[in-house]
Amino acid sequence: MKIAFFDSGVGGLSVLHHAMKALPEEQFVFFADEDHVPYGVKEKEQVLQYVDEAFRFLMTQDVKAIVVACNTATSVAAAEMRRKYEIPIIGMEPAVKQAMDLYGNRRVLVTATPITLRGEKMRMLMEQLNRERLIDRLPLPRLVDFAEHQEFRSPEVKSYLEQAFSPYDFSQFSSVVLGCTHFNYFKDSMRELLPEHVRFVDGNAGTVHELIRRLKERDALEHLPQTVTCFYSGREVRDAAELSRLQAYMGRLEEMYTIG
């Protein structure tokens, strides 16, 4: 059986990339809802409908677990999907607690999509963790569009990030939480604008760790030749140009992997 990774677009490849390193003998399905990307600026009801449609498709693909490799979809729909399906469903959330635990009492900037930052999950995290009001929130929705167009280091990206970061005195910050899986493609562009002491924190490793734990509980880990089958909104990706595009994203993620 296979492990599915679902996202609104190509951001979820960053979680799959980590899983492929941690689970070299598993087989994967990657589903990017390219017909409806981006999710982060849409209404919650729309997002729930899109996720529901994607899950119905994925359940026909002989999957043993689904990773919702999208913070927005997790916030809106993961609980509902867990009520509907019995297989393990592992979601994402901005790694705010990890950042606070790692870096103590310095400020943390949480970047994500608007819908994630407004969501109930974020509200609860903020109430639990906003010690001495040390957490700031910054929506960066245009990074999703930039990523979908493979635009990572253009003058437009740099200008967008410079303007977004300009209100913050980063000498007071310990870390930037990458609260959208699309944002991992921009570590080098961000790194050029941030002091060296400001670290990046994301939820990818924790999500993959939880996936492995849940599969071990079910004795469901396998020893097979690693494969990845990709779908765009339910259509299998077979076109050579599109497969090359996805491989380019994975190459980009490999370059970003060691930037902290």
pLDDT category, 123, cuts 50, 70, 90? confident
Over the stretch 172-182, which tens digit does the pLDDT of each residue have? 999 999 999 99
Over the stretch 46-73, which tens digit does the pLDDT of each residue have? 999 999 999 999 999 999 999 999 999 9
Say what the pLDDT of residue 99 is. 87
Cα dihedral 139, 118, 202, 5 sign: negative
Asked if pLDDT for residue 105 goes beyond 80, the answer is no
Best CA proximity match to 202, nearest among 185, 178, 224: 178
pLDDT category, 131, cuts 50, 70, 90? low
Mean pLDDT computed over 191-195:
97
Burial 84-118 (b: 16+ CB within 10 A, else e): eeebbbbbbbbbbbbbbeebeeebbbbbbbebbbe
10 and 249 in contact (C-beta within 8 Å)?
yes
Say what the pLDDT of residue 102 is. 82
Domain at 96-201, CATH class: alpha beta
Mean pLDDT computed over 198-223:
96
pLDDT category, 132, cuts 50, 70, 90? low
| Per-residue DSSP letter, 243 | H
Asked if pLDDT for residue 126 goes beyond 80, the answer is no
What is the distance between the alpha carbons of residues 259 and 184, in angstroms, rounded to a whole number?
10
Asked if pLDDT for residue 162 goes beyond 70, the answer is yes
Say what the pLDDT of residue 10 is. 96
Residues annotated as catalytic are 70, 180
Two tokens at 252? 């980009």
Asked if pLDDT for residue 130 goes beyond 70, the answer is no
110 and 156 in contact (C-beta within 8 Å)?
no
What is the distance between the alpha carbons of residues 37 and 104, in angstroms, rounded to a whole number?
36
Residue recorded with tokens 């910050």: 173
pTM for the full predicted model? 0.92
Domain 2-92+204-256 matches domain 96-201 at the CATH topology level: yes
Domain at 2-92+204-256, CATH class: alpha beta
Say what the pLDDT of residue 151 is. 97
Say what the pLDDT of residue 125 is. 77
Say what the pLDDT of residue 119 is. 83
Say what the pLDDT of residue 38 is. 92
Q: Which of 5-19, 36-50, 100-114 has the lowest mean pLDDT?
A: 100-114
Asked if pLDDT for residue 194 goes beyond 80, the answer is yes
Say what the pLDDT of residue 118 is. 87
Domain borders along the chain are 2-92+204-256, 96-201
